[in-house]
Chain A
Amino acid sequence: MAYPDGKRATLGWRDVVRKATLAAGITRRGARGNWDRWGYLFIAPWLAGFLIFTAGPMLASLYLSFCKYDLYELRWVGTKNYEVLLTRDPLFWKSLTNTAIYVLFSVPLGLTGSLLLALLLNQKVKGIALFRTLFYLPSLVPAVASALVWLWVFHPEAGILNYALGWFGIAGPQWLQDPRTALVSLILMSLWGIGGARMIIFLAGLQGIPDEQYEAASLDGARGWAVFRHVTLPMLSPTILFNLVLGIIGSFQVFTSAYVMTNGGPNNATLMYVLYLYNNAFRYFKMGKASAMAWILFVILLAFTLIQFRHARRWVYYEGGESD
Chain B
Amino acid sequence: MDRRDFLRRTLLAGGGSALAATAGCGMRFQDERDDGRTTIRYMAWGNPEQIAVEREIIRAFEARHPHLRVRLFMVPGSAYADKLQLMLASHTAPDVMRADHYYFPALARKEYFLPLEPFIEREPPGFLDDFVPIAIEEGKWRGRLYGLNVLFGAVMIYYNQDLFAAAGLPDPYELNRQGKWDWQAFLRAARKLTRYENGRAVQFGTNMVTWPLYASVIWNFGGEITDPGITRMTMGNDPGAIAGMQAYADLRWKWHCSPTPAESALSAFTFESGRLAMHWGWAGESPRFRRNIKSFRWDLTTTPSGPAGNFTVVKGNQLCIYRESRHPNEAWEFVKFMTGPEAELLLCGKLRRAVPTRRSVLNDPRYLEADQPPYHTDIFLESIERGRTLPIDWRYQEWSQAFNSALETLFNVNEKDAAAALADASERVTRILAGEEGF
Contacts and interface: CB of A to CB of B under 8 A. Distances in A.
Interface of A: 68, 70-73, 80-81, 84, 88-89, 148, 151-152, 155-158, 174, 177-179, 264-268, 279, 282-286, 289
B439 interface: yes
B413 A178 contact: yes
B89 interface: yes
A271 B395 CA distance: 20
Contacts of B412: 177, 179, 265-267
Interface string B379-413: 00000000000000001011001001110110011
Contacts of A285: 85, 106, 397
A148 B437 contact: no
Interface string B416-439: 000000000000000000001111
Contacts of A155: 262, 265-266
A267 B89 contact: no
B397 A284 contact: yes
B110 A283 contact: no
B413 A282 contact: no
Nearest to A156: B262
A148 B267 CA distance: 11
Interface string B76-90: 000000100100110
B437 A265 contact: no
B397 A177 contact: no
B266 A152 contact: yes
A178 B409 CA distance: 10
Contacts of B266: 148, 151-152, 155, 158
Interface in B90-137: 106, 109-111
Contacts of B268: 158
A177 B260 contact: yes
Given A71-B110, A155-B262, A84 B413 contact: no
Contact of B401 (A148, A279, A289): A279
A113 to B, nearest CB: 27
A285 B401 CA distance: 13
Contacts of A266: 261, 408, 412-413
A177 B89 contact: no
Nearest to A278: B82
Nearest to B201: A157
Contacts of A177: 260-262, 265, 412-413
A70 B111 CA distance: 13
B263 A157 contact: yes
Most buried by A among B82, B261, B401, B439: B439
29 contacts: A72-B109, A72-B110, A84-B439, A88-B437, A148-B266, A151-B266, A152-B266, A155-B262, A155-B266, A156-B262, A157-B263, A174-B413, A177-B261, A177-B262, A177-B413, A179-B408, A179-B413, A265-B408, A266-B413, A267-B405, A267-B406, A267-B409, A282-B85, A283-B398, A284-B401, A284-B438, A285-B85, A285-B397, A286-B439
A198 to B, nearest CB: 28
Interface string B192-222: 0000000010000000000000000000000
A95 to B, nearest CB: 12
A71 B266 CA distance: 36
A289 B439 contact: yes
Contacts of A283: 397-398, 401
B47 to A, nearest CB: 17
A289 B200 CA distance: 47
Interface in B19-61: none
Nearest to A45: B13
A152 B267 CA distance: 11
Contacts of B263: 157
Contacts of B85: 71, 282, 285
Nearest to B82: A282
A153 to B, nearest CB: 11
Contacts of A156: 262
A80 B408 CA distance: 31
A231 B49 CA distance: 64
Contacts of A88: 436-437
A85 B309 CA distance: 43
Contact of B89 (A71, A148, A151): A71
A89 B437 contact: yes
A64 B261 CA distance: 39
B88 to A, nearest CB: 8
A178 B111 CA distance: 42
A71 B106 CA distance: 11
Contact of A80 (B88, B406, B439): B439
Contacts of A68: 439
Contacts of A289: 439
